[in-house]
Amino acid sequence: MAKRKMILDLDTGIDDSLAIAYALGAPDVDLIGIISSYGNVITSKAADNSLRILELLGAPDVPVFLGEPHSSTTEHFDVMAISQQIHGKNGIGEVDLPTPKRAVEKQSGVDFLIDAVHQYGADLTLVPTGPLTNLAAALKKAPDIASTIGNVTLMGGALTVPGNVSHFAEANINQDAEAANAVFTSDLHLTMVGLDVTLRTLLTKHETQQWRDLKTTAGAKFADIVDYYIAAYEVTSPDLHGCALHDPLAVGVALDPSFVTTLDLNMFVQDEGVDYGRTIGDPARLNEPTNVTVALTVDQDRYLKTFMTYLTALFKQN
């Protein structure tokens, strides 16, 4: 067993599925659990999708937990039409995967996270790739985990580029800017892998064809899932000429920070007004020790090579 432990916090759509595959394919980490969130789909569907992906990839022993069903300031969540367009109504490109044999765990995702931090401490890595509602709830319930957890690397935000749901806001942060602000302004040290770098890491049908050529179930299913994603990007972002590897890049950076160049910064998240969801430097803390490391550029060629090495080897076996 690898010493380093990882928990993923996912609103399992297509790039979240790729994040699961990266975590399972990486040789230097032990995926100990997945917490579900809302965003690309509702929380219960995210959990179901995670279980299906784990089953497909030969990892049914990884437990999946339910996180919060909606933001910290609302009482209900509805999936946005754009999310269904990009990920499909089922969240995984309308691809049908077998019903998983394992059920969702009874323990809440927030309690699982707190217990895992207390158990593994500095050896634990958390990668949230959806809203930060679950992490904010855990920090509120057990503030001590902020100084105990080893690594938090999130996919979310944008510092040097516009947002993708408004001129200011990236989708994950925009789902619950209040929770995101609580996380960014806490004692937690975190790395932000935002649109600044994820829009530079692209996958095309050249890579999905390599998965089809494996002649395995996992290779074919993931090719179908990602081709749906690529087709959606051809409509929403035709200038990119591929689909962005948002969530799996966060997993990659959590395991190998040298993939990106960074800026250390104190940040806050705007939680009201026209720039709701904006992630920006905090002028009130300019001269204080910093707690956020922001990814600014990425070695996309080396990352993509690593990504394809890990996932192709995993798909060959399944």
Residues annotated catalytic, as ranges? 11
Neighbours of 22 (CB within 10 A): 27
Span between the terminal Cα atoms of the chain, in Å: 21
Q: How many helices (H) and strands (E) does the chain have?
A: 12, 12
Report the distance separating Cα 84 and Cα 92, nearest Å. 10
Look up residue 99 and give its two tokens. 């019903």
Q: Which of 204, 241, 248, 210 is nearest to 226 (CA)?
A: 204
Burial 274-298 (b: 16+ CB within 10 A, else e): ebbbbbbbbeeeeeeebbbbbbeeb
| DSSP letters spanning 117-134 | HHHHGGGEEEEE-S-SHH
